[in-house]
Chains A and B, each alone.
Chain A
Amino acid sequence: MTTSVPDPSLKHQRREHALMLALVSPALLVILALIVLPVGWLAWQSIYHDGFTLENYRRVFTEDVYWRSFALTFEISLAVTVIALLLGYPVAYLANSVPKGWSILILSLVVLPFWTSVLVRAYAWLALLQRTGVINQFLRYLDVISEPLALVHNTFGTVVATVHILLPFMVLPLYATMQKIPGDLMQAGASLGASPSLTFMRVFLPLSLPGVLAGCTMVFVLCLGFYITPELLGGGRTVMVSMLVSRNVELYNQFGAASAVAVVLLLSVLAIFFVVSRFISLDRVLGQK
């Protein structure tokens, strides 16, 4: 191939790029029309109401109500993330180390709850956890307890149900990362005389950390915006940020007061993504690579 002739592969590549752009443009338009514009419009409302105003933000940053809800929301999200990691890591590890057929079964069990709505699952937890629920009745039958335990209508019930809903977002990135760890490395470790637990600690665990970070970020960020679960299982005491958003629409009769809360939440999510992206590539968090 001589240099004077245009590289046909380059031309081909450009055509492919144009084609790709054409293919994704409907999706981009949908995202623009249904997500970017409305969110932008809402953000605009938070600073503009008969003239520019920072009143909505002054409120968010000065009133105790907001501060407490943000603190509670971050606490719950942290608790959910830690529990999901502790539960999800062994599951992903198991799915990664058993033969293909078994791993498909395990992963289907993890994904199965996705097929029922969040609402149905919240009610199912209610049936399990409430005073007259399955767990309390069983424990009383066994005479383990004399008075029913307060398992729901509080933060505990909220955390339990939220972990259940978000667990797949932890297991799947973990599994994807573990899949890419070459099995030879464990054997190499073993051949050098390391015990299985040492190989795990020194080789497998460090290599799976990107998956841990990815799963934790997904779960944490999704949990920040949870609404239905705390609303139904929190007993009214668990006032998360998303509930303040809906409360503010009612209370102030204008969207700005609510969207200011949403904007602050959105910015904290973006800040988290920014910090995480300093450590690993965002593609990885979103499960692309």
Chain B
Amino acid sequence: MNTKRNFEMGCALLGALALGGTAANAAEQITFVSQGGAYQQAQTVAILDPSAKKLGITINQDSIPDAWPAIKTQVGSGKPIWDVVDTPTGNCLRGGEQGLIEKLDFSKIPNGAAMPEAYRSPYSVSYEFYSSVLAYSQKTFPKDAPNSWADFWDVKKFPGRRALRNHPFATLEAALMADGVAPDKLYPLDVDRAFRKLEEIKPHITVWWTSGAQSAQLLNDGEVDMEMAWNGRVSAVAKEGAKVSFTYNQGILQSTSLCILKGAPNLETAVKFLNEAVDPVHQANLPLHIDYGPGNPKAFETNVIKPERAAQLPSEPANASKQALMSYAWWSSPAGEAAEKRWASFMQK
């Protein structure tokens, strides 16, 4: 799939070269980059193809698991190839501060301007949502399952093996919620308090997982009885028949966002595309193809997503109201970066 796309892109580039001066008359095009796999295919059907058709542009696709180093090198070289990137929101903010990402003019992005302020930044608009949730084995907990981070921390009431992500994102938030901080009062994070609370649970953590696949395997094999995991991973395991479930209660809502590389070759078209990509209807189509929630909350007002489907999605308003919305602005602030650096020494002790 990807090689085919790359081939097509190669052809498009060759074509553009051959056309030379007349290229301006040719159809407008952009290069869009996401993370590949089932996720990018779902976007192609739900968002990219319909947007291309509506705007009459060509969207060349590329994919990369972690766009950050490539953004740095491309913009650093002065001649970026990519236009629009779908990447964890923190990258857009960091990139904006470091001059790697274009500042957005929201007067040209009405769909973005209509989104709540917490869902956008001067450099980016939310594209899709996932959540770090408390997942558990229904075999171990057929009823009275753990339902909050305080339950996760309560090893007497809920005995069993536990796993957390080997990363401070969402983990510090969970620790603070376990310590009684309300989901909407988390930021700025009290880092000392969070690490103190984590020290408490540390002896009871069997695995600190590093990849989503690993978190799924742990739950699927019964290696742990409860863990923090991404909602899409848990529902995938459940769909395959494993007796596992999760709660959105006190989940940590995280997002990827769209942003445009500084000096993007097709800046104007990129802005047009960015507006179209967060159109409520396109956005509403995304969860019909994959277990991620739309980045634009207006998608839930389009009637495209059936209520029973909406209830499964992390960014559905009722689900979202039970969760904490991750502040990428805090995580890319000096305090956030210091907390991230502190993580490794916490793990080693």
Per-residue CB contact flags for chain A residues 236-254 toward chain B (1 = under 8 Å, else 0) read 1101000010010101011
Whether B348 and A65, one on each chain, are in contact in the complex, defined by CB atoms closer than 8 angstroms, is: yes
Contacting residues of chain B (154-176) with chain A, CB-CB under 8 angstroms: 161, 166
CA A231 to CA B340, docked complex, whole Å: 19
Chain A residues within 8 Å of B98, by CB: 253
Interface residue from B206, B345, B348 paired with A235 (Cβ < 8 Å): B206
Whether A247 and B344, one on each chain, are in contact in the complex, defined by CB atoms closer than 8 angstroms, is: yes
Q: Look across to chain A and name the residue whose beta carbon is closest to the beta carbon of B66.
A: A250
Q: Is residue B72 contacting chain A, with contact meaning CB distance below 8 A? A: yes
CA A29 to CA B348, docked complex, whole Å: 42
CA A150 to CA B224, docked complex, whole Å: 12
Q: Is residue B141 contacting chain A, with contact meaning CB distance below 8 A? A: no
Given contacts A153-B206, A231-B210, A237-B208, contact A131 B345 (CB under 8 A): no
Interface residue from A126, A232, A239 paired with B347 (Cβ < 8 Å): A239
User: Nearest Cβ distance between residue A218 and chain B, in whole angstroms?
Assistant: 28
Q: Is residue A184 contacting chain B, with contact meaning CB distance below 8 A? A: no
Chain A residues within 8 Å of B217, by CB: 126
CA A30 to CA B98, docked complex, whole Å: 35
Whether B207 and A253, one on each chain, are in contact in the complex, defined by CB atoms closer than 8 angstroms, is: no
Place the interface of chain B in its size category. 20 to 34
CA A249 to CA B347, docked complex, whole Å: 18
CA A153 to CA B161, docked complex, whole Å: 12
From A126, A237, A251, residue with most partner B Cβ within 10 Å = A237
Chain A residues within 8 Å of B68, by CB: 253
Given contacts A68-B345, A130-B223, A253-B72, 13 further A-B contacts (CB under 8 A): A63-B345, A65-B348, A69-B348, A126-B217, A130-B221, A132-B221, A235-B207, A236-B207, A236-B210, A239-B348, A251-B337, A253-B94, A254-B72
10 closest A-B pairs by CB: A236-B208, A236-B166, A153-B207, A235-B207, A68-B348, A65-B344, A65-B345, A132-B222, A130-B223, A131-B223
B interface residues with partner A (beta carbon < 8 Å):
68-69, 72, 94, 98, 161, 166, 206-210, 214, 217, 221-223, 337, 340-341, 344-345, 347-348
A interface residues with partner B (beta carbon < 8 Å):
63-65, 68-69, 72, 126, 130-132, 150, 153, 231-232, 235-237, 239, 244, 247, 249, 251, 253-254
Q: List 19 A-B contacts (CB under 8 A).
A: A64-B348, A65-B344, A65-B348, A68-B348, A130-B221, A130-B223, A131-B161, A132-B221, A150-B206, A153-B207, A232-B214, A235-B206, A236-B207, A236-B208, A237-B208, A239-B344, A251-B337, A253-B68, A253-B72
